[in-house]
Amino acid sequence: MTGTASSPHITRSELKGIPMTLTENQSAAAVADHHEPSLLEAFRQQPRTVWVTAFAAVIAFMGIGLVDPILNSIAEALDAPPSKLTLLFGVYVGIQCVAMLLTGWAAYRFGPKRTLTTGLVLIIVAAGISSLADSIDQLIAYRVLWGLGNALFIATALAFIVSAAKGSQHGAIMLYEAALGVGLAVGPLLGALLGEWSWRAPFGGTAILMLIGAILCAVMLPADAPHTERVPVRIIDPLKALRNRTLLITGIGSAFYTGALFTVIAWAPIAMGLRPIYAGMVFFGWGLLTALAGVFIAPGLARIVGQKGGVLIAITAYGLVMALAAVGTMTDTVWLIGLAVILSGLPSGVLNTLFTGVAMSAGDGSTPRSVSSAGYSFLRWMGAAIAAVLVAHLAEWFGSHTAPWWFATAYCVVAVAVVSLVRNPAADAHAVDEDAALIGAEEY
């Protein structure tokens, strides 16, 4: 997910390691007077290509939260049982799990711009035809296409933002993080507002917005560099990266936590049973806290207890929130379920950043970081897909809508046990790698 326009495999940390060119006659005082521009100044410096890509990223990040507020409306209109509704999320993340093995290769083989633009086109088509679906099975099939498009776009969007940025790279990366926050928060709101009119409207609205973004990206983004200038990546490389013990253990732990995360995303709308506008407000709060916690809370927590310690604390907190949701469902207290969903955004945002930091601490320089992150994301998305598919069946098998929440709590217990096995000293670092939140953002 990181890199430059010619090769999406240069991380933000590597970019920061490239020194500025200074003429020999510059005085030390001049260098001392140099300072990074303010965030507002950095935003203003960015060219249109950066803003265009960020706009498209906002729409892409809306993909998950968009569906939550209208889930019950879809169930009523298409006579869909819970097991079919949760597949809308299961297949979405399932295809992204598989796509993690393809995105790096595709960017190398066809070029980052072609890969990104193809992803946007797939999202447009999927969202557009979703608004015309006549059955839940059709809608599920279209979500497969949507998930593939989202994976191809997100995997290369940051590369363009970083490579086209002017002035401070920090400003460009923060712009991408802002796109994440806006997308996670606005997605549920858009789904809620348009969903009050018709469940089809949010899909149509997304298609129109993404069409604008795709046209702008196709016209304004720079052409791909020649094939010979790109870093070669094979489809099997992300799986080979999992030979690293720390990366493998962290990926397995993240898979269990992400299973709990997608229990919230896929099951909470069904458990609450709210009309679109109210469900949208709940998930707006969730998305906002997720984005803010990843950027502002996670680094502070890591400074106090280290990245691994922060992960263990956040997973434990997530498990407690899952138990709170179970109590709310058991007592039929809808506001308590909604509160649990919103509060879950805090540990979720922390984990998006710190879990990735622990995973990336496994790097020894022999494997490109983008390849390692792809292998890690392959495992965590596998956990998400399995949990989203199983969640409705758990409720049916155990005859209780509370069962998925208790299983989510158990996922967190397993995740804590697995992460405790990480022995890499680098995982206990008290400084968070600055692109950890961005790799974590791929989850959406």
Q: What is the pLDDT of residues 389-438, one digit of tens each?
A: 999 999 999 999 999 999 999 999 999 999 999 988 888 888 766 555 55
**Beta carbons of 246 and 362 less than 8 angstroms apart:** yes
How many of the other CB atoms lie within 10 Å of CB of 138?
14
pLDDT at 127 over 80: yes
Please write the tens of the pLDDT for every residue from 69-92. 999 999 999 999 999 999 999 999
Predicted confidence band of residue 65 (pLDDT cuts 50, 70, 90): confident
pLDDT given at position 21? 36
pLDDT given at position 387? 97
Retrieve residue 168's tokens: 């401070």
- Kindly state the average pLDDT of the residues 182-187: 87
- Kindly state the average pLDDT of the residues 220-241: 85
pLDDT given at position 362? 76
Retrieve residue 226's tokens: 């020649």
Predicted confidence band of residue 351 (pLDDT cuts 50, 70, 90): very high
Q: Which of 54-63, 160-169, 337-346 has the lowest mean pLDDT?
A: 160-169
Predicted confidence band of residue 104 (pLDDT cuts 50, 70, 90): confident
pLDDT given at position 40? 66
pLDDT given at position 157? 81
Residues 418-443: b if buried by 16+ CB within 10 A, e if exposed: bbeebebebbbbeebbbbbbbbbbbb
Mean pLDDT of the chain: 84
pLDDT at 66 over 50: yes
pLDDT at 222 over 50: yes
pTM for this entry: 0.85
Strand, helix or coil at 390?
helix
| C-alpha dihedral sign at 334, 275, 93, 186 | negative
CA distances from 282 to 51, 184, 235, 274, 434 (A): 29, 12, 39, 10, 29
Phi-psi region of 306 (alpha: psi -120 to 50; beta: other; left: phi over 0): left
Predicted confidence band of residue 251 (pLDDT cuts 50, 70, 90): very high
Please write the tens of the pLDDT for every residue from 262-284. 999 999 999 999 999 999 999 99
pLDDT given at position 3? 38
CA distances from 148 to 15, 39, 101, 115, 258 (A): 29, 33, 12, 11, 19
Residues in the chain: 444
Predicted confidence band of residue 223 (pLDDT cuts 50, 70, 90): confident
pLDDT given at position 438? 53
- Environment class of residue 327 by beta-carbon count within 10 Å: exposed (0-12), middle (13-18) or buried (19+)? middle
Q: Which residue has the higher pLDDT, 202 or 7?
A: 202
Q: Where are the domains of the chain?
A: 46-221+235-443
CA distance 179 to 382: 25
| Strand spans (E) along 255-325 | none
CA distance 352 to 181: 13
Q: Which of 30-44, 120-134, 177-191 has the lowest mean pLDDT?
A: 30-44
pLDDT given at position 41? 67
pLDDT at 174 over 80: no
Distant-in-sequence contacts of 368-371, Cβ < 8 A, 24+ apart: 368/9, 368/231, 368/233, 369/2, 369/9, 369/11, 370/1, 370/2, 370/3, 370/8, 370/9, 370/11, 370/104, 370/233, 371/9, 371/104, 371/233, 371/237, 371/238, 371/241
pLDDT given at position 19? 37
**Beta carbons of 206 and 58 less than 8 angstroms apart:** no
Share of the chain above pLDDT 70, in %: 84
Q: Which residue has the higher pLDDT, 113 or 22?
A: 113
Predicted confidence band of residue 444 (pLDDT cuts 50, 70, 90): low
CATH label, 46-221+235-443, candidates 1.20.1250.20, 1.10.150.120, 3.40.50.300, 3.40.50.720: 1.20.1250.20
Please write the tens of the pLDDT for every residue from 355-386. 888 887 877 677 877 788 889 989 999 999 99
Strand, helix or coil at 436?
helix
Predicted confidence band of residue 18 (pLDDT cuts 50, 70, 90): very low
pLDDT at 132 over 50: yes
Q: Which helix (H) or strand (E) holds 36?
A: none
Strand, helix or coil at 337?
helix
Q: For every residue of 112-154, which 3-state class applies, written as one string?
A: HHHHHHHHHHHHHHHHHHHCCCCCHHHHHHHHHHHHHHHHHHH
